[in-house]
Each structure stands twice: as C-alpha cells, then as structure tokens.
Structure 1
Amino acid sequence: MVTRKELKESFKKSGNIVIVGASLAGLRAAEVLRKEEFKGQITVIGDEPYEPYDRPRSLNRC
C-alpha cells in the first residue's frame, strides 16, 4: 500500500497542475508550488487583457 507521504513525493516529481486565472493570485500560486519544490508541469490559463502586476500598498489605510 502506498502511503500518503509517498504519494505526495511522487506527485511533486511528476504531477501536472493547471491554474485557471493568470492574475497575480494565479502566478503567486505557481511561484509557491516551485518554492515548495514541485517539479511537475504547471500550466497557467487566463484571458486577462493585461499582465499581472503588484499594486502598491495604500499609505492611507483606514
């Protein structure tokens, strides 16, 4: 029987992930996967009319 840990390690090496939405959140998800050593294929799908960007933090927080 395959353990949960073995399955997770196997998926990190050869799994495929599709992220729907190429917004900043979608790209951050892909970045986190790589940071957590995911080695499989990551596909980001989106139809946003512009590239993702970081919005500057507001200086006037309420």
Structure 2
Amino acid sequence: MQGLTTGAGMWLAGAVGVACALGYYTVGLAVSLFAILVLAVLRRFSHDVVSDNDEK
C-alpha cells in the first residue's frame, strides 16, 4: 500500500486548515505538532524494521 501516508497527510492538512479557518488555532497547532511527532516515530520504526529485514 504505497501512498497511504501521503493521502492521510493530505486529509490531515485539510482538517488543520478547516480548524484554523474556523478559528480553532490551538486545535490546529496541537494536531499539527502531534502529527509531526507520530510521523517521526513511525519513520524511525519503519527504518528499524526495514534494516532488520535487510540483515537477515
């Protein structure tokens, strides 16, 4: 399933944009920071899994 993260990121960007447009700046900022944190953790995890599979 390629492109899943990209698609989810686009939906998230749209949701953050709507939140900011409605004046929920704190929610938009919190969701953006949380998304960055989750994506960083998942990237690290995926690199660890891929490198473990390459060594076998």
| Structure with max Cα Rg | 1
Higher relative contact order (Cα pairs below 8 Å, separated by 6+ residues): 1
Give the TM-score normalised by structure 2: 0.29
Higher strand share: 1
Structure with bigger helix share is 2
TM-score (norm 1): 0.28
